[in-house]
């Protein structure tokens, strides 16, 4: 009887939590979905392209009016300045780097002049806009021609990707104006609705179920970190669903490689696929001539500053970059020395003497799997919701990691040392 009462109370609490989740997002998310569908309807008509661009800009401004705090209305102005700089640097060899630096500087300066809560409300928007502007500058690096102001504005202000992303290049945006068959349109719409359903399931799990599970002492930090990850999956699937409704399918995240990682490299790639592509194409490749370590550090450093100056996010990303690099280096050396299939990414055509089903390979891969899961717990534990509205401070991050005796960082240093020994 006692057990039954507990289950009933638990179900009631979860039910109230679910109701609260939907009531908090139904208006804002619902309106965003409606505006995205409206944008798609206009895009597939026979109207002139400039009319479609104007409608996209107007719908985007309507979205900004709903989502931005008053101090955030400077965002379109900053985007305009970046476009003006692109015009001024047409044909300039380093236009991509110049515009990227200007975009990042705008984020950092804006963070200094508005309140922390207002900055957190627009940080995601700023990140996506900065990546779009940066990619456009690199794609048209040596070209004297740029998209006209209307097309540029429509690309930046597209309702489907304005608030939650994902990042997509200008060519992907142009695909939203392509006519398709009725069957393709229906499949895209149904796919979008299905992905949105998955997104809301992630929201329920993140907000309700992990709240109760995290009260367990033994796995408390695991479920705190998982709550943070599933809230990220919610945003990622929401953005993917909106993009599908707008006519373009862009995979945004893959939870399975994150939750069951072969390596931390899998986590980095699958966490945010479009951002990984952006960092690889426009940062890693550009710094590749400096060596692998420098290009990896540059990628994680740029990812860090795109979030603005925040100790917790920066320390997590830079720690992840450091550990990823040396884990991958160590596994490559073990694989080469002992001819074992234990690299950070699985072999496409394995020719190792000890293949993936060999017990030695299974044992080594299992050890790195346990290591990756613990790193996810350790690095995700500070994202427990305390102080999230104002931004996590350094003391909160350090005190959380101190409870673990900074074990994951020590493990990372040991892996770094071992990578030089094999």
For 283, counting Cβ atoms within 10 Å of its Cβ (0-12 exposed, 13-18 middle, 19+ buried), the class is buried
Cβ atoms of residues 327 and 263 within 8 Å: yes
Mean pLDDT on 207-215: 64
Radius of gyration of the chain (CA): 23
Q: pLDDT tens for residues 375-421?
A: 999 999 888 766 555 666 788 889 999 998 999 999 999 999 999 98
Average pLDDT over the chain reads 86
Closest CA to 176 of 40, 32, 33, 37: 40
66 lies in the same domain as 168:
yes
361 lies in the same domain as 300:
yes
| Residue 3, in any domain of the structure | no
Q: pLDDT tens for residues 80-92?
A: 777 777 777 776 7
Task: Print the domain residue range for 204.
Answer: 182-253
Is it the case that residue 244 has pLDDT exceeding 60? yes
Question: How many structural domains compose the chain?
Answer: 3
159 lies in the same domain as 214:
no
| Residue 11, in any domain of the structure | no
55 lies in the same domain as 73:
yes
130 lies in the same domain as 159:
yes
């Amino acid at each position: 009887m006692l057990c039954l009462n507990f289950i009933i109370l638990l179900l009631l609490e979860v039910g109230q939590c679910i109701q609260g989740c939907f009531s908090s997002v139904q208006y804002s998310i619902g309106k965003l979905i409606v505006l995205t569908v409206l944008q798609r309807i206009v895009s597939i008509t026979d109207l002139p392209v400039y009319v479609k661009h104007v409608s996209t800009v107007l719908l985007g401004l309507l979205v900004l009016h709903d989502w931005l705090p008053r101090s955030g209305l400077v965002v379109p102005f900053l985007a305009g300045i970046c476009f003006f700089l692109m015009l001024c640097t047409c044909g300039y060899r380093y236009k991509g780097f110049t515009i990227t630096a200007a975009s990042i500087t705008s984020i950092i300066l804006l963070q200094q002049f508005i309140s922390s809560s207002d900055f957190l409300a627009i940080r995601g928007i700023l990140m996506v806009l900065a990546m779009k502007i940066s990619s456009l500058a690199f794609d048209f690096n040596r070209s004297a021609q740029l998209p006209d102001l209307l097309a540029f504005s429509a690309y930046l202000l597209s309702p489907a990707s304005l608030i939650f992303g994902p990042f997509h290049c200008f060519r992907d945006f142009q695909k939203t104006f392509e006519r398709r068959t009725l069957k393709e349109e229906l499949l895209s719409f149904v796919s979008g609705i299905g992905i949105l359903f998955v997104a809301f399931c992630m929201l329920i799990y993140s907000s309700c179920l992990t709240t109760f599970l995290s009260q367990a002492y033994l796995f408390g930090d695991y479920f705190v970190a998982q709550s943070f990850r599933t809230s990220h999956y919610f945003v990622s699937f929401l953005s993917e669903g909106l993009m599908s409704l707008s006519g373009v399918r862009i995979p945004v995240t893959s939870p399975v490689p994150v939750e069951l990682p072969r390596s931390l490299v899998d986590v980095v790639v699958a966490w945010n696929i479009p951002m990984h592509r952006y960092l690889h194409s426009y940062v890693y490749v550009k710094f590749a001539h400096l060596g692998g370590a420098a290009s990896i550090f540059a990628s994680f450093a740029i990812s860090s500053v795109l979030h603005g100056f925040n100790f917790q996010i920066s320390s997590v990303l830079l720690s992840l970059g450091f550990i990823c690099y040396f884990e991958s280096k160590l596994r490559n050396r073990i694989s080469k020395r002992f001819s074992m299939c234990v690299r950070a990414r699985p072999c496409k055509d394995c020719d190792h003497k000890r293949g993936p089903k060999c017990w030695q390979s299974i044992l080594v891969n299992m050890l790195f799997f346990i290591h990756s899961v613990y790193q996810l717990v350790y690095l995700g534990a500070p994202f427990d919701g305390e102080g999230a509205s104002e931004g996590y401070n350094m003391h909160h991050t350090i005190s959380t990691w101190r409870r673990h005796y900074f074990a994951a960082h020590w493990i990372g240093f040991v892996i770094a040392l071992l990578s030089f020994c094999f």
